[in-house]
Amino acid sequence: MKTRYSIPLAFIVLASLFGCQKKLTEDPKANLTPVNYLKTQADLDAAVASIYAKYAVDGAYAFTNKSTSYFGADDLTTDPGLNKGDMRAFDQLNGSSGNTSMQAQWNGPWTAIYQANNVITNYKQVSSTDLLKNQAVGQAYFLRAWGYYNLVRTFGQVPLIDKVISVDDRPARSSVSDVYTLIVNDLKIAKRLLPTSFPGQPGRANQLAARSMLADVYLTMAGWPLKKTDSYALAATEADSVIQSNTYSLVNDYGTVFTTNNNSESVFAIQFNVGGGSPNRTFGSSSVPLDEVASNGSSGWDDYYPEINFFLNAPKCARTDATFYTTLKLIQPDKSFKLVPWSSSETHAGHPYYKKFRAGVNDGVIETATGIQGINPSTNKTTDIIRYPLVLLDYAEASAMSSGGPSAAAYAAINKVRVRAGLPNLTPGLSATDFQKAVVNERGYEFAGEFGIRWFDIVRLQMLPEIIAARGDKENPINFTGDISQRYIAPIPQNEMYRNPSWTQNPGY
Amino acid sequence: MKRFLFMLLVCCITLNGYASVVHLKGYKSAFLVAQVSGKVKDDKGNPLAGVSVKVQGSTTVALTDINGVFKVQAPDGATLIFTYVGFEDQKVVLNGQTTLAITLVEKTIGLNEVVAVGYGIQQKRDVTGATSTVTAREIAKRPLVRVEQALQGTTAGVTVSSNSGQPGAGLSVKIRGANSITGSTDPLYVIDGYIGGNIESITPSDIQSLEILKDASATAIYGSRGANGVVLITTKTGKVGKPVVSINTWFSKASIPKELDLMNAYDFARTVNAQFATTGNPAAFSDADLAGFKNKPGTDWQRAVQQKPWIRNYQADVSGGSDNVNYLVSFNHLDQPGLILNQYYKRTTFRANLGIKLNDRMDVKINLTTLLPQSRNTGYQGDITDPFAQSSQWDPTSPIRDASGNYIFKSKYASNQINPVAQANNQQVDVSSTNITGTGVFTYRILNDLTLTSNNTYETQSQLTQTLYGLNTGLGLVGGDYAAVESGKYRSYQTSDFLTYKKKLGDHSLTVTALYEFSSRENTGVKAQANNLSSYALGYYNLGLGATQLTTSNYYEDALQSFMGRVNYTYKDKYLLTASVRSDGSSHLTQKYSTFPSLAVGWNAARERFIQKLDIFSDLKLRASWGKTGNQAVGAYATIPQYVSGSPAYYFDGVKPSVATPLGSPVSNTLKWETTTTTDAGLDVSFFSGRLTFTADAYHKKITNLLYNYQAPYYLGGGLYQRNIGSLDNKGIEFALGGTPLVGKVKWSTNFTISFNRNRVVDLGGLDNVVVNNIGSAQNGVAILKIGKPLGEFYGYQFLGTWKTSEAAQAAQFGMKPGDAKYTDVNGDHKYTSDDLMPIGNGSPKYSFGFINDVSYGNFTLSFMFQGTYGNQIYSGTIPYTLGGLGDARNATSTTALSIWTPTNETNNPTFSSTSQNFINSSRFVYNASYIKLKNLSLGYTIPTAVLSRVGIRSLEIYVSGQNIWTITKYPGYDPEVSNSTNAITQGLETGVIPNPKTYTVGLRATL
């Protein structure tokens, strides 16, 4: 009886001991690793796409109200109460390192730079043609430069990381000047490697985008804090090369710029696709007043709108009409709409709003002159980072400042923008500084509410005292009690300070 | 289906429910064989059916019938042995009697009992480790849904808390504090030898015993998985005898134990107006609106999202056996709707336990379990999509539906999220799975002293998750509507093969165990998601309707190979020694093998003559142990850098997707297991023949190579990566006091356990502190790990109330006005900045306790159990949102807003102000969370057997009970027991999770 079972039993024991043994080495069959990945051109393309994708999220540049430091400017303000504390703090020049929304301005560019560094460090190992590899890495250089350009303007000194580094490395913050050196070098490389266009793929940064970006960088370097005035000339040259390429032209109707994607004046834009899980939230609900409720029940988020005096000082022109939203449509119990002016006591905020950020590509606010059918927060609208008018105005200012006064070409550049806006030509014969003032004012209204252009003008030209002086008494009061000159840069997010114990926070925070 | 099975079981049993006498082989004897008869009762006088009556030295066995009556052929002078599960054996020597009246005494786990110790069993008195036992009888007292509940309040050193009142949710179990800040702090569950088995598959009524192994002497044999303590679960087996059918059915009415004090429509409306007035905005509600609200309270959203369901549990099993085969087959069905609309958990479990004696030397045991759980919407996390969390933030002036019966999705006031009733009713996250676990144990006694055991388990699980967020959900309103189906297949295999050598030589007795073990797991998953379906008429059943599609899949596999040796040595049954060493090789680590040793000694002092002379102790044992265990908090592939797939594509022309594969988080390739070194000293003592028992243990656990999911700086991508960052100390003492103060007509037994644990961060790899971020909406360091401080330390601003009118000048230095929030300005710079953050409370209790009592009188039994914690705090993430001005909560809903600061009534609730800084991470939201709960109160009645025997029922008990019906606490939130964080660092952080239900239960237990 004993032996009857012994043999099968012994077999089972042996089978269980040895039958299922596997080595203890890991084979991640479903995961891409450096062992099996970034070997082909397709791999490289996917790595480059991921740099762009990191910019196109709420936690980066898909949502104006996450760019809270820009609220220090006069083209952006928010509600005095409600849930707008993060934006309001910077509007009151009283932002802190703990500001949750502001983290997007830090996290967004860094996560993209991390991806760009991966491409720049590893692209050579890919088996493909030099042409394709150079086009890929050229975009990485462009996108890295753009990330650093935003970081250095927003936060001042940041660490310079130009390759994939070890997990335990905690580099120190580099000087602002060193950061600009990297930005300029990257853009020069991008300019050299990139083609003038990527047919059928307007979302890719091309050589002209790199030149335009470089012009803007040089213009900024001429202002605070570097004040390298010799870079005005460099800015003018770069911008002029884009103008001379005759690649871009202004869209006739200003309003159409904000309801079409990749139009004739778009030099570089972030692309979105709602269905693909990357919606743009800068357009649609975000800039719609709290008071406005559509007939389908959707309502405005009331995140951002212009300061009253900024609106009141706008030149009377078609551009202004297309920019601002001044008659609110209030739904009535019978679902009809009552039209009231922005200043009416029936409105919650008593402010004008932005019109140009409402429609998206007809997928944001769905409305007629007398009613609102729907208000959607997620749109497929691109966010233009560089529009051709920026190149024109960069050129106008830079050339005037580099040659002691505006040339005819400088006037031609700004007048192109003014004429499209529905304004007369600029008074001729202005001095260099008066001309610069005129250009900066033009930029303010041409790019009102757009991606920090106004705020960074205020920063590079140190305009806060005059901006505060022009602020109306219906705005959120400036309750910051310290040194206003410390408000041009934002604090490093507190979380990141914790992760880098050797860093010192920006003064005043 | 379940009804049919139930009927089948009932029919089978009724046919067999009468008296029987089993004659096996004849009995050869020089004596005259006579018929002996008698009756067996328990100590309450109830007849016991199915008691085995064996004539010692023969193969004659009889069983008692339903009236406890037996008849057996036995010679005079023979010894009859009466055995019955759950009762002490009794021997009677026949001395001329032919009728016997036998009273069996119920078993209590004493020092002479046999307990499971992992890879074997041991007599309780020989155990050198710190262990506790929970028996089937203890489990039967409460209507338990999950195994972990059986540990709550019953065992010293074990803290059980419910993370959420979601139906079917698991409970967090901590044995002797937290041993990890990254990995799970739950103990290792070993089910009939299967390590890491799925405890969801265990129906509480199927459990014979739970052994809780607490110190390293007991747990080191589980090596790299033993650091959190081990719970050994032994399931029931059939006993020799005719089939016995047990039925255990109960019904519970559940409800939310508490609601927050929120404003009605009128108060809310005037508060919004007051808030708008302070910022110069026009009134939101007209006088006419206000007058209208005076007559109707508006919508009570907390009530609107709730339901008060009946929870139903049906359990039936049949068990029995002969000399060569024993069996137990059980069926359980639980139907547990949630406390929130459109939420449920259902579970069906089948179990078949079969034991076969092949011959004198070989046994085979086969346990097979099938688990079929099904749930809907049980994954609420307290975030902005959670209808329960939203229900305290929604506008009471808004009706649920408009005049035509359609949902009103949004309101202009209070929460900016979707109507929580619409969300609850319109979202569907349906999870169903099939889990089959089979364990086969072969035992072969090769020599009289040497036994080979091979324990093999195969588990397979298929899971299907079907998700629908249609147009009428929060996602749908913002164009993010989708349907998805996710399917996964998991399998796990384990073989444990060990030799046990047992030898007794005079006063020396020795047991040696040598083990080889191998286990591997594999998981394959695929997910298909369709966005923006053209029609939702087919729900999640046809993803082809999606405008865009996303498909992802995943796979992992891992393996663990181990060797273990253990020696148990006792001398004169007085001096005990246990030594073990285990070596674990894991696929997860770069350096594969780690070693975990342990050593323990014990002294049965009660066996010393000088102690016996004192005549005080019925038992006295002293124990001491030391050992190392590990915590497998490193996942598969954690040391391999990876690219991320399945993230959103980029659209270079806005239309055509280009795949994006970003580089993932950086990894550290030098990871080691966390190692816990435990030293324990303990004492087991009992007095008055075991009527009073006392156990005390003191321990020191040092956790080194502490693993932490460190967040990378954003220039390194910002993701999480694991690092061994330091070490942690846990020190504690625990006591269990048990007794039977009354044994007469009124019987009272009682058990009190209390445990104290202190932990302290000792080292953080050169850093002084690590701030823990990203909890709920408060992303700026709500918790901190700091050297010298315990885990669970909250971090934030110290709230000092409001600036008073008399302090206007001081307030102005901060840019503030009277009525604004005031905090401690640590560095005196007249600004509230990150430099002013400080520890503001702690979520780990100073002690926790349980107090269990059973009082019986005649056929009535009253049981009650209190359980509680002391000295812990909760940081509420729910309450700040009810004050408005935060995240998507625009206006206040809490009645606190009715008592905000005014110039004439200077309260400490900050006023509405655009200069006030209302930090979410502030001590304002830290509350004392000590509590005492009446976890269970139960009254049972056992129907007299005289009544039952006429209808063929062996026993029947009916009971009514209540759970969580009474709580003493100062905590103003929903439930002090519930916090949504299972992580030890962030324990005590609560962010809007569903509280434990208060339930009232009626039930019956019957055997046929």
Give per-residue pLDDT as tens, A187-214.
999 999 999 999 999 999 999 999 999 9
How many H-runs (helices) and E-runs (strands) does chain A carry?
16, 8
d(CA B578, CA B509): 12
Between chains, do B647 and A50 touch, taking CB under 8 Å as contact?
A: yes
The amino acid present at B574, given as its one-letter code, is K
Backbone dihedral region of B112: left (phi > 0), alpha (psi from -120 to 50 degrees) or beta?
A: alpha
Whether the Cβ atoms of residue A119 and residue A190 lie closer than 8 Å to each other:
no
Size of the A and B interface in Cβ pairs below 8 Å: 316
**Closest A-chain CA to B781:** A495
The answer to whether residue A341 neighbours chain B at the CB level (below 8 Å) is no
For tokens 């995961």, the residue is: A31
d(CA B401, CA B409): 8
Helix (H, G, I), strand (E, B) or coil at A443: helix
Residue A232 and residue A311 in one domain: no
The residue count of chain A comes to: 509
A424: burial class by Cβ within 10 Å (0-12, 13-18, 19+)?
Answer: exposed
Joined tokens for residue B342: 């459109």
DSSP codes of every residue in A59-107: TTTS-GGG-GGGGGSTT-B--SSTT-HHHHHHHTT---TT-TTTHHHHH
- In what helix (H) or strand (E) does residue A467 lie, and over which residues does it extend? helix A464-469
Consecutive 10-residue runs of chain B (1008 residues): their mean pLDDT? 39 34 37 79 77 83 83 86 80 85 71 78 84 83 82 81 78 82 85 90 89 90 91 91 91 94 96 88 91 92 96 94 93 95 96 94 95 94 86 96 91 91 95 96 93 95 96 85 96 95 93 95 95 93 91 92 95 93 91 92 91 88 94 85 88 93 89 90 90 93 89 90 89 93 89 92 87 54 84 91 95 91 93 88 90 91 92 90 85 94 95 84 93 93 84 88 93 84 76 88 91
Joined tokens for residue B232: 């050994």
Residue A165 and residue A210 in one domain: no
Q: What is the pLDDT of residue B20?
A: 32
β-bridge mates for residue B37, sequence order: B71, B99
Answer whether residue A8 shows pLDDT above 80.
no
Answer whether residue A28 shows pLDDT above 50.
yes
Residue A505 and residue A394 in one domain: no
B725 vs chain A: nearest CA distance in angstroms? Answer: 12
User: What residues of chain B lie within 8 A of the CB of A297, using their CB?
Assistant: 408-410
Q: Summarize the confidence of residues A240-258 as an average pLDDT.
A: 97
Whether the Cβ atoms of residue B894 and residue B924 lie closer than 8 Å to each other:
no
d(CA B665, CA B713): 10
Angle between helix A388-402 and helix A432-446 axes, rounded to 10 deg: 170
Residue A399 and residue A509 in one domain: no
Between chains, do B359 and A1 touch, taking CB under 8 Å as contact?
A: yes
The answer to whether residue A263 neighbours chain B at the CB level (below 8 Å) is no
Q: Max alpha carbon distance in chain A (Å)?
A: 117
CATH number at residue A509: 1.25.40.390
Residue A357 and residue A413 in one domain: no
Between chains, do A29 and B717 touch, taking CB under 8 Å as contact?
A: no
List, in order, residues 6 or more apart from B396 with CB less than 8 Å away. Answer: B262, B263, B264, B265, B268, B297, B298, B299, B300, B301, B414, B893
The answer to whether residue A28 neighbours chain B at the CB level (below 8 Å) is yes
Last residue of a domain, one of A381, A396, A411: A381
* A288-307 residues touching B, CB cutoff 8 A: 290-291, 293, 297-299, 301
Between chains, do A47 and B409 touch, taking CB under 8 Å as contact?
A: no
Its ipTM equals 0.93
Q: Is the dihedral of CA B540, B546, B552, B553 positive or negative?
A: positive
Round to the nearest angstrom and report the end-to-end CA distance of chain B: 21
Angle between helix A408-421 and helix A432-446 axes, rounded to 10 deg: 30
* A72-91 residues touching B, CB cutoff 8 A: 79-83, 85, 88
The answer to whether residue A204 neighbours chain B at the CB level (below 8 Å) is yes
Say which DSSP state A172 is in.
P
User: What residues of chain A lie within 8 A of the CB of B591, using their CB?
Assistant: none
User: What residues of chain B lie within 8 A of the CB of A200, using their CB?
Assistant: 653
Angle between helix A130-155 and helix A453-460 axes, rounded to 10 deg: 60
d(CA A444, CA A441): 5
Q: The whole model's pTM is what?
A: 0.83
Whether the Cβ atoms of residue A456 and residue A220 lie closer than 8 Å to each other:
yes
Residue A261 and residue A393 in one domain: yes
d(CA B230, CA B220): 10
Q: Summarize the confidence of residues A355-366 as an average pLDDT.
A: 96
> What's the gap between Cα A235 and its chain centre?
21
d(CA B913, CA B688): 69
The answer to whether residue B526 neighbours chain A at the CB level (below 8 Å) is no
Residue A170 and residue A145 in one domain: yes
Residue A62 and residue A146 in one domain: yes
Domain residue ranges in chain B: 2-104
d(CA A436, CA A400): 7
User: What residues of chain B lie within 8 A of the CB of A79, using their CB?
Assistant: 279
- How many C-beta neighbours within 10 Å does residue B259 have? 14
Of B644, B715, B777, the CB nearest to A161: B715
- How many C-beta neighbours within 10 Å does residue B223 have? 29
Of A96, A161, A275, the CB nearest to B548: A275
For residue A236, being part of any structural domain is answered with: yes
List, in order, residues 6 or more apart from B511 with CB less than 8 Å away. Answer: B120, B122, B500, B501, B502, B503, B566, B567, B568, B569
β-bridge mates for residue B486, sequence order: B465, B527
Residue A349 and residue A392 in one domain: no
User: What residues of chain A lie within 8 A of the CB of B721, using their CB?
Assistant: 167
The answer to whether residue A424 neighbours chain B at the CB level (below 8 Å) is no
Between chains, do A501 and B721 touch, taking CB under 8 Å as contact?
A: no
Domain extent, residue A90, equals 42-194+475-509
Backbone dihedral region of B293: left (phi > 0), alpha (psi from -120 to 50 degrees) or beta?
A: alpha
Burial B693-726, CB ≥16 within 10 A → b, else e: bbbbbbbebbbbbbbbbbbbbbbbbbbebbbbbb
Q: What is the pLDDT of residue A395?
A: 98
The answer to whether residue A275 neighbours chain B at the CB level (below 8 Å) is yes
Residue A324 and residue A238 in one domain: no
User: What residues of chain A lie within 8 A of the CB of B278, using their CB?
Assistant: 81
User: What residues of chain A lie within 8 A of the CB of B442, using their CB?
Assistant: 9, 12-13
Three-class SS of A322-354: HHEECEEEEECCCCCEEEEECCCCCCCCCCCEE
Domain count, chain A: 3
User: What residues of chain B lie within 8 A of the CB of A77, using their CB?
Assistant: none
**Closest A-chain CA to B495:** A16
For tokens 């998750």, the residue is: B465
Residue A186 and residue A259 in one domain: no
CATH annotation of B2-104: 2.60.40.1120
* Nearest by Cα to B311 from B999, B936, B993: B999
B608-612 own/partner pairs: CB under 8 Å, 24+ apart: B608/B574
Whether the Cβ atoms of residue A157 and residue A151 lie closer than 8 Å to each other:
no
Q: E strands along A94-218, which residues? A: none
For B44, B86, B122, the CA distances from B83, given in Å and listed in that order, are 17, 9, 20
Residue A91 and residue A138 in one domain: yes
d(CA B784, CA B773): 9
Q: What is the pLDDT of residue B981?
A: 61
Q: What is the pLDDT of residue B762?
A: 93
The answer to whether residue B493 neighbours chain A at the CB level (below 8 Å) is yes
For B163, B179, B497, the CA distances from B759, given in Å and listed in that order, are 21, 9, 37
